[in-house]
């Protein structure tokens, strides 16, 4: 299998804090990878570095073998790396459907079309409706995103990232803000939609049960470093991970 995403010695310092302290990982194409770590472990920072929101202090990011370090996030998005956010980033006064149409419109413009889809594809409006259906959001279609419940907004955020057909999708705590008994259903929904698109997925998650069942590989972060990397069972049982990441559920509650 070939690496779709690869980082080498990624370092990001904020003053004295090293939020990323030499992160080197390879993500194989077509896999579903979980990313765990306590508060402030550097998970979000890692996503920010990969997607160009932050420039690394040192180190490189490669996507499909190409060095993308330092590119602005819009270029990285267009290459095929999309993400969702820990705090959902939606267009609050636009309806759910219009939220999707923003991204779909940008894709259409990339094909040279200012109205319609270009090259005879499906019209963006229909694509948007299909995506809403798939994410069980159809009922919220014409409501402004700002008034939707947190969990629904989270789902919309993910749907927006997936709608523009990325090659790899980075999800930052997709189930935070969602009640415990809804988490699995939500993740099933997300992963089901993703599987259809055959996208590589890396998702940040605090719920270890979810990580155990939904991923085929887990990365554990602590203080900006990778402290474990392997199949879920092995990583979640590793003593260091148990001590630094899994062991203290009390600490995690305020995470989102």
Ligand X SMILES: Nc1ncnc2c1ncn2[C@@H]1O[C@H](COP(=O)(O)OP(=O)(O)OP(=O)(O)O)[C@@H](O)[C@H]1O
Give the interface with other proteins as residue ranges (CB under 8 A): 44, 48, 51, 53, 72-74, 77-78, 82-83, 85-87, 89-94, 98, 101-103, 105-110, 113-115, 124, 146, 160-161, 164, 256
Which two tokens mark 147?
């008034």
Indicate which single residue of 5, 25, 33, 41 sits in contact with ligand X (rule: CB under 6 A).
Answer: 41
Question: What is d(CA 97, CA 131) in angstroms, rounded to the nearest whole number?
Answer: 9
Phi (first) and psi of residue 93, to 5 degrees: -90, -5
Site string for ligand X, 83-122 (x = CB under 6 A): ---x------------------------------------
Which two tokens mark 186?
């939500």
Q: Are residues 235 and 202 in contact, defined by beta-carbon separation less than 8 angstroms?
A: no
| Signed CA dihedral, 80, 84, 85, 90: sign only | positive
What is the closest distance, in whole angstroms, from the C-beta atom of residue 104 to other proteins in the complex?
8
Which of these ranges, 41-49, 111-119, 129-137, 207-215, lies near ligand X under the rule CB under 6 A? 41-49
Q: Are residues 81 and 170 in contact, defined by beta-carbon separation less than 8 angstroms?
A: yes
Which of these ranges, 12-20, 36-44, 76-84, 181-189, lies near Mg ion under the rule CB under 5 A? 36-44
Contact flag: residue 227 with ligand X (CB under 6 A):
no
Task: List the single partner that 93 binds among other proteins, ligand X, Mg ion, none, CB under 5 to 8 Å by kind.
Answer: other proteins
Residue 234's H or E segment, with its range, is: helix 232-237
Counting every residue written for the chain, the total comes to: 256
Footprint of Mg ion on residues 202-241 (CB under 5 A)?
A: none
Question: What is d(CA 148, CA 45) in angstroms, rounded to the nearest whole number?
Answer: 27
Indicate which single residue of 4, 36, 44, 221 sits in contact with Mg ion (rule: CB under 5 A).
Answer: 44
Task: List the single partner that 197 binds among other proteins, ligand X, Mg ion, none, CB under 5 to 8 Å by kind.
Answer: none
| Signed CA dihedral, 234, 240, 242, 245: sign only | negative
Q: Among candidates 226, 152, 214, which has minimal Cα distance to 188?
A: 214
Site string for ligand X, 149-168 (x = CB under 6 A): --------------------
Question: What is the binding site for ligand X (CB under 6 A)?
Answer: 14, 17, 19, 37, 39-45, 86, 255
């Amino acid at each position: 299998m070939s690496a779709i995403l690869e980082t080498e010695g990624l370092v990001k310092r904020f003053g004295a804090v090293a939020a990323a302290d030499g992160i080197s990982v390879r993500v194989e194409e077509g896999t579903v990878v979980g990313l765990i770590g306590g508060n402030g472990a550097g998970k979000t920072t890692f996503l920010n570095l990969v997607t160009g929101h932050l420039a690394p202090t040192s180190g490189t990011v490669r996507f499909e073998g190409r060095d993308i370090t330092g590119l602005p996030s819009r270029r990285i998005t267009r290459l095929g790396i999309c993400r969702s956010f820990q705090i959902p980033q939606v267009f609050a006064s636009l309806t759910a459907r219009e939220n999707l149409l923003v991204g779909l419109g940008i894709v259409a413009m990339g094909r040279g079309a200012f109205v319609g889809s270009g090259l005879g594809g499906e019209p963006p409006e229909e694509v948007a409706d299909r995506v809403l259906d798939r994410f069980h959001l159809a009922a919220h279609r014409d409501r402004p995103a700002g008034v939707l419940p947190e969990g629904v907004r989270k789902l919309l955020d993910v749907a927006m990232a997936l709608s523009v057909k990325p090659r790899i999708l980075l999800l930052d705590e997709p189930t935070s803000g969602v009640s415990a008994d809804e988490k699995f259903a939500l993740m099933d929904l997300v992963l089901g939609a993703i599987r259809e698109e055959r996208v590589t997925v890396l998702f940040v998650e605090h719920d270890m049960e979810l990580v155990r069942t939904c991923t085929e590989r887990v990365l554990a972060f602590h203080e900006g470093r990778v402290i474990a990397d392997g199949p879920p069972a092995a990583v979640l049982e590793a003593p260091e991970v148990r001590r630094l990441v899994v062991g203290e559920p009390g600490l995690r509650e305020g995470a989102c």
